[in-house]
């Protein structure tokens, strides 16, 4: 019948090169690899067809290859392997001629050098005895002229030899250029197709390639004059690849030229099998038999005549036997959860295979932020600016390096952690020179009390002045300082100002004596209000409150507050305003001891 296909032994074999016969329709970049989608269009004959697609990258994962056919053909089998290499020619007529010219040039240089050496030897052996003085000048002039000519000829020969050498190397590279392994495209996929009718079909190859990667990067631009959403975050992807993967371009062969690009935050798994769970056996442990060793007291070839010539010993305590495969178990982390997202990069992207970072923009986000300032004047009187940025977008932010700009000026580099949508992250914005801190000299006073039992008291007063030179108010400035912590039960430290309340903390080695706090205040953190601080701050003056360091951490431990002696003030300073802070404490100890550390 006319509709029957030809005999199965009549196979239509087609050979295609991926770069020329297809186009990349999609690239999905993961961490450490990329997934390539290639589309082929070609005609098939009715019946059996064998398509051999060469020029696939060497870094392709064979287990990742998927093939899809659209049209009147069905896939019968897929195999993949290295492209058979044709014999590489090692010589050509052009290369033979160039090597001949190179040998002639090298011989000419040797003759020229020999001639120059002969002239130098002749001049060196010439004396006034065998050459009349009238002819000596003429002879030397002739030698000088001939030497100059030979020098010029030698330079020309050396330049000619250099050009010939370059031509030889170029011809050798040209002869070796046909090796597809050298250009990174040495894999071939062989696909069996059965066509129900002749015509054009579409064949899609989807496969993963190694040596491709992307990482997140950010530009954080902060406008200190904006009141609503002061942060503009430029979310970027730094893409690098050295896959050798190529596609056809009107002008040249380039890698990933004008392709749709997708960024993935999870890595796919290819060819993963369900693991097999082995049985777990228990048995009674039996100690090993003692090891018996025989040692000769002295080296001799004579036969041992008595037991005195032998020393027997055991290895002492027997070590447990190593676990066998029946009883050996070791925990292994297979995977860990992370933020998962897929980003489609707008437009068409070109990424060359050059192992260099190429930056593309994912999205530009305008975000709200809460500005805060912090200073530790006892260590550094500079004031650090920090922003708590809320990711109010639908994008998951991956860990990456960020370039920080404040009011158009580059400030520093920082790192952004993983942030889910509606999450927040802290971003350091560098030093704010418009807030000036004065850490005054410490005021000390020592005295003794008691009639029969003498006690020494050391009083301290530390003053801190903070000036806001801005034309805008500073509403959230934290000033961190400390008082000493006793490590001995005979030494007592009392905080006088600010008057912070905490339960008395008594141990066998030291005491910080403070007024007690009610149970209602200590249990002010409830499940319904997880963001409530451990303890509310204590008002010191207008726009100033004080608290133990860590009291504003809702996830902290209230029993640990004050144990390290650290406290802070929360200040609101008006424009061109000044705030004065005072930290006062005293140290009490028996007069008979010397307090170390004061």
- Predicted confidence (pLDDT) per residue in 549-585, tens digit: 988 887 778 888 888 999 999 999 999 999 999 999 9
**What's the CA dihedral at 94, 98, 100, 105 to 10 degrees?**
160
Give 414's strand partners.
Answer: 402
pLDDT for 170: 86
Task: Answer yes or no: are the C-beta atoms of 412 and 404 closer than 8 Å.
Answer: yes
Q: Count, in order, helices (H) and strands (E) of the chain.
A: 4, 33
Measured CA to CA, the distance from residue 78 to residue 322 in angstroms comes to 46
pLDDT for 275: 82
For tokens 């009549």, the residue is 10
Other beta carbons within 10 Å of 311: 11
Task: Answer yes or no: are the C-beta atoms of 496 and 585 closer than 8 Å.
Answer: yes
What tokens does 56 get? 């696939």
pLDDT for 539: 93
Measured CA to CA, the distance from residue 483 to residue 568 in angstroms comes to 11
pLDDT for 42: 94
Q: What angle is formed at CA 467 by the lines to CA 466 and CA 469, rounded to 5 degrees? A: 150
3-state secondary structure of 27: strand
pLDDT for 143: 82
Measured CA to CA, the distance from residue 526 to residue 528 in angstroms comes to 5
Kindly report whether the peptide bond that precedes residue 498 is cis, defined as omega within 30 degrees of 0.
Answer: yes
Alpha-carbon distances, residue 551 vs 37, 468, 525, 584 (angstroms): 55, 26, 11, 20
- Alpha-carbon Rg for the chain, nearest whole angstrom, is 42
Alpha-carbon distances, residue 83 vs 181, 186, 191, 243, 347 (angstroms): 8, 5, 14, 17, 34
3-state secondary structure of 134: helix
pLDDT for 465: 96
Mean pLDDT score of the chain: 81
Nearest in space to 191 (alpha carbons), one of 38, 27, 36, 25? 38
Residue ranges in the chain modelled with pLDDT below 50: 1-2, 180-181, 249-253, 297-339, 505-528
Measured CA to CA, the distance from residue 549 to residue 562 in angstroms comes to 7
């Amino acid at each position: 019948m006319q509709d029957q296909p030809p005999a199965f032994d009549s196979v239509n074999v087609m050979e295609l090169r991926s770069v020329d016969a297809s186009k990349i329709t999609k690239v999905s970049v993961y961490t450490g690899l990329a997934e390539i989608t290639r589309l082929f269009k070609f005609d098939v004959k009715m019946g059996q067809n064998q398509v051999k697609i060469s020029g696939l990258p060497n870094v392709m994962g064979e287990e990742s290859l998927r093939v899809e056919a659209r049209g009147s053909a069905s896939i019968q089998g897929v195999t993949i392997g290295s492209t058979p290499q044709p014999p590489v020619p090692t010589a050509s007529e052009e290369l033979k001629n160039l090597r001949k010219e190179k040998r002639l040039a090298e011989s000419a240089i040797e003759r020229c050098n020999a001639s120059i050496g002969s002239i130098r030897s002749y001049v060196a052996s010439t004396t006034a005895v065998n050459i009349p003085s009238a002819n000596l000048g003429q002879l030397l002039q002739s030698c000088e002229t001939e030497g100059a000519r030979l020098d010029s000829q030698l330079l020309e020969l050396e330049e000619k030899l250099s050009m010939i050498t370059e031509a030889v190397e170029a011809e050798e590279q040209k002869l070796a250029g046909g090796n597809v392994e050298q250009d990174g495209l040495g894999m071939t996929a062989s696909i069996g197709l059965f066509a129900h009718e002749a015509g054009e079909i579409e064949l899609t190859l989807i496969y993963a390639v190694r040596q491709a990667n992307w990482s997140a990067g950010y530009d954080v631009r902060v406008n200190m004059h904006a009141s609503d959403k002061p942060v503009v975050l430029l979310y970027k992807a730094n893409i690098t690849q050295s896959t050798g993967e190529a596609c056809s371009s009107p002008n040249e062969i380039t890698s990933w030229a004008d392709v749709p690009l997708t960024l993935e935050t999870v890595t796919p798994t290819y060819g993963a099998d369900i693991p097999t769970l082995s049985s777990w056996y228990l048995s009674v442990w039996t100690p090993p038999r003692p090891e018996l060793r025989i040692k000769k007291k002295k080296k001799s070839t004579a036969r041992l005549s008595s037991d005195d010539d032998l020393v027997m010993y055991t290895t002492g305590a027997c070590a447990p036997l190593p676990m066998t495969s029946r009883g050996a178990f070791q925990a292994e982390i297979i995977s860990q959860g992370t933020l998962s997202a897929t980003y489609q990069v707008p437009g068409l992207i070109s990424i060359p295979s050059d192992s260099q970072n190429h930056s593309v923009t994912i999205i530009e986000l305008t975000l709200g932020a809460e500005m805060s300032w912090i200073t530790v004047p006892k260590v550094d009187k500079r004031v650090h600016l920090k922003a708590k940025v809320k990711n109010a977008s639908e994008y998951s932010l991956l860990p990456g390096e960020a370039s920080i700009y404040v009011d158009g000026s580059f400030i520093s580099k920082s790192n952004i952690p993983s942030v889910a949508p509606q999450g927040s992250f802290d971003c350091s914005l560098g030093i704010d020179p418009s807030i000036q801190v004065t850490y005054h000299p410490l005021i000390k006073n020592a005295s003794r009390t008691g009639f029969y039992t003498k006690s020494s008291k050391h009083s301290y007063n530390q003053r801190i002045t903070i000036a806001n030179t801005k034309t805008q108010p500073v509403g959230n400035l934290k000033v961190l300082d400390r008082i000493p912590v006793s490590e001995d039960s005979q030494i007592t430290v009392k905080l006088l100002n600010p008057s912070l309340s905490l339960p008395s903390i008594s141990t066998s080695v030291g005491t910080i004596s403070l007024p007690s706090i009610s149970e209602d205040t200590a249990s002010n953190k409830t499940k319904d209000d997880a963001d409530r601080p451990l303890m509310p701050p204590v008002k010191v003056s207008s726009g100033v409150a004080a608290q133990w360091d860590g009291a504003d951490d809702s996830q902290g431990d209230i029993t640990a507050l004050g144990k390290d002696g650290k406290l802070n003030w929360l200040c609101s300073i008006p424009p061109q305003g000044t705030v004065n802070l005072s930290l006062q404490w005293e140290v009490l100890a028996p007069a008979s001891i010397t307090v170390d550390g004061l």
